[in-house]
Structure 1
Amino acid sequence: MTDLTEAARRRQHILRAAVRQRLLDPERPELLLAGFVDLDGIAGTVASLHRAFPGSLRVLHAFAAKANSLVPVLAELRRHGMGCEVATGGELDQALAAGFPPDHIVFDSPAKHRRELERALGLGITINVDNFQELSRIGDILDGRPPRSRIGVRVNPQVGGGAIAAMSTATQTSKFGVPLTDRGSRERLLRAFEEHPWLTWVHTHAGSQGCPLSLMARSVAQAVDFAEDVNHRLGRRQVTGIDIGGGLPVNFATDEVSPGFDEYVRHLREHAPALFSGRYEVITEFGRSILAKNGLTAAYVEYTKSAGGRPIALTHAGVQVATRTVFQPEAWPLRITAHDPHGAVKHGRPVAQDIAGPACFAGDLLARDRALPLLEPGDIVALLDTGAYYFSTPFHYNSLPEPAVHGVRVDGDGQVRFELIRPAQQLDRLPTP
């Protein structure tokens, strides 16, 4: 174990404990695959987020629920002082079930139904309006009454995209928000703030994975500039808050956490210094960067074979838990480590091999031509950095069941304690007609 990094030793320690405690068991179909959330790691990551922003700033760090909407995970984040950003009525239900108070919840869907808006306004949940039609709908619902909610408008600064088009939301033709550079759009939005004194926030989000920090910071700068324009034009501090979104990219190549929240704050200070002036409250909406590196997925190797001279390991983890990686491997590569049946890291000469999933289509591959110690039946593969969007957002191809998810804490004496977050789905217990 001396040649392993601290992070690798911790993963090995957790996997060996999971095997000993029969949370992974090659003899039980429902335990051939499981997800693990490092609850100690979450505490450390959230603490680093709080430290990155100056204590003089009034900030609500709202976790983006779509990154991992499992209610016990959301409740853990709430206990560490976070709020919750939701993008659907379902995520709103999960946030409330996790115990978030309504004034710590932010509702950010581009297609909010009238009943969803009525519910959110009734509860006093913060709402970021996506478009002028939604703004009109909210005005009709309020009917002249002052809102309990903080209400803002999402602006699209149209500053461009990052390396992954699907993750870039500040492009010229993005479906999100009110564009600021389209002809007449900015002026129309300024008039809307003038007509609706209850519009007191501005929201922006440039994108996530693949977006450079400078692009994200320039997006925030445009939102702050628009807020300053509103207040200058109206001669009063109507806009009192800026929601800067989330989107901090994650390093999926190594154990290093980079970039960090502190680095992003340095970019924000450079591009949007008025954000730190004290004139505005701030909301953040980080998701992947909070959870990704605090989770892993483990699965048994069922069979091994060779085709065209290349070894293939057939495992129980595939498209059902790594959907983005399977369908867009170039954009979403995952690190994979090889372990023996007891959970210990395998050593040996690396051999190029394919790591395949159980689904019935040829593209269900976690990795192609990946150099690892040669896998054998009964071994375990660990998919790293999967705490966000992977096991928490299962894809039910071939009716593959949802795996169990366990929270993990390691005591000072090295004892590993597991907490069930989600039980394994039992397809043999489905209701019958």
Structure 2
Amino acid sequence: MNCIGLHAHIGSQIFELQPHHDLGAVMVQWLSKAAQYGLPVKELNIGGGLGIRYTESDDPPSIEEWVRVVVESVKVACEAQQVPLPKLLCEPGRSLIGPACVTAYSVGSQKIVPEIRTYLTVDGGMSDNPRPITYQSLYRVVAANRMSAPITETVTIAGKHCESGDILIKDASLPITHPGDILVVMATGAYNYSMSSNYNRIPRPSAVLVREGEANIILQRETYQDLIRQDRLPERLKQS
């Protein structure tokens, strides 16, 4: 085997540029050490980790700023270590696909617990977005068909899975909504579908690609037949 490159991953949803700057210098140190052992390392992959804006308070740097910091760090470190510039790879991942997608839900019923909380139910939940229940991820939501309406309500958006933890967003700020309204959760492109499941035998939703007024289905909505197509009866039960 030939060692052609080194790879690192320092974390995810990082808003500060300094860790990425530090990573470049560390990677070049390993590049220099590899050369001492006769390993022909010519590529550095600095991974990803650049954060995106899930909520209004998130303020990530741009991809351009991130790239500039990494490139300058590697260049300076290579000059200091007197090693040739490597082929530089990165994994922008979430920072590209995350903001490119949204998830739309239909509003169902409302449950008011006086002086405690108002629950708003939707036709999805932890099966299409397990991140809030597994590690308390935060998202922004809007009422897509009431974008001009004043924000007057604070509600907790609950899923349909009969689990106490099936909460998509706690204390969301919304206008008055009614059954059938469309709630849209922002920045769901990176993980929702890849982490989705058929929990409680719930079929996955469809995915639609929209560009310049044209919409195309790129993932068909699952049906009940899709859910049971792998099910099999033992032969003796079939015969009876």
Matched, 1:423 2:229: no
Return the offset for 1:273.
2.2
* Residue 169 of structure 2 is aligned to residue 362 of structure 1: no
For 1:261 and 1:358, the matched residues in 2 are separated by 36
Asked if the contact 2:203/2:222 (under 8 Å) is kept, the reply is: yes
- CA–CA distance in structure 1, aligned partners of residues 193 and 33 of structure 2: 44
- In the alignment, the residues of structure 1 paired with residue 146 and residue 175 of structure 2 have an alpha-carbon distance, to the nearest angstrom, of 12
Q: 1:218 aligns with which of 10, 15, 22?
A: 22
Give the distance between the partners of 1:400 and 1:394, measured in 2 at CA.
10
The match for 2:122 is 315
Residues 155-234 of structure 1: matches in 2 within 5 Å? 198-210=2-14, 212-231=16-35, 233-234=36-37
2:187 corresponding residue in structure 1: 385
Verify the 8 A CA contact 1:204 1:220 in the aligned structure 2: no
The whole-number CA distance in structure 2 between the counterparts of 1:360 and 1:204 is 40
State the alpha-carbon separation in 1 of the partners of residues 18 and 114 from structure 2. 45
**2:131, 2:85 → 1: CA distance?**
40
Sequence identity, in percent? 26
1:407 aligned to 2:209? yes
Q: Distance in 2 between matches of 1:427 and 1:402?
A: 10
CA contact (8 A) 1:351 1:373 kept: yes
Q: Does 1:398 align with 2:200?
A: yes
Question: Are the aligned partners of 1:205 and 1:219 in contact in 2 as well (CA < 8 Å)?
Answer: no
Does residue 96 of structure 2 align to residue 290 of structure 1? yes
Secondary structure of residue in 2 paired with 1:267:
helix
Please state how far the C-alpha of 1:238 moved relative to its aligned partner. Answer: 1.8
User: Which residue in the other structure is 2:75 paired with?
Assistant: 273
Normalised by the length of structure 2, the TM-score is: 0.84
> Structure 1 residues 276 and 294, CA, compared in 2 at 3 Å: closer, same or farther?
farther
Contiguous gaps of at least 5 residues in structure 1 = 1-138, 140-197, 411-415
Distance in 1, Cα, partners of 2:7 & 2:182: 44
Q: Quote the offset at 1:270 in angstroms.
A: 4.8
Q: Does 1:338 align with 2:143?
A: yes
Question: How far apart are the structure 2 equivalents of 1:319 and 1:427?
Answer: 18
**Hey, what does 1:299 align to over in structure 2?**
105
Following TM superposition, by how much is the alpha carbon of 1:216 offset from its aligned partner in structure 2, in angstroms?
2.7
Q: Is the partner of 1:305 in helix, strand or coil?
A: strand
What do you get for the CA RMSD once the two structures are aligned?
2.4
Matched to 2:99, the amino acid is K
Report the Cα offset of residue 383 of structure 1: 0.5
Write the distance in 2 (CA, Å) between the matches of 1:255 and 1:204.
28
1:382 deviates by: 0.2
8 Å contact from structure 1 (residues 207, 216) kept in 2: no
Helix, strand or coil at the partner of 1:424:
coil
1:325 corresponds to: 132
Residue aligned with 1:249, SS = coil
Following superposition, which runs of at least 4 residues in structure 1 exceed 4 angstroms of deviation? 274-278
Matched letter for residue 25 of structure 2: A
Measure how far apart 1:326 and its partner are.
2.7
What is the CA distance between 1:375 and its match in structure 2?
Answer: 1.9
- The alpha-carbon distance between structure 1 residues 275 and 290, as it changes in their structure 2 partners (threshold 3 A), is farther
TM-score under structure 1 length normalisation: 0.48
Q: CA deviation at 1:315?
A: 0.4
Q: How many residues matched?
A: 225
The 2-side partners of 1:367 and 1:389 are apart by 16
3-state SS of paired residue (2:204): coil
One-letter amino acid of the structure 2 residue matched with residue 323 of structure 1: P
Where is the helix percentage greater, Structure 1 or Structure 2? Answer: 1
Distance 2:67 2:207 in 1: 33
1:403 shift after superposition: 0.6
- The 2-side partners of 1:349 and 1:283 are apart by 44
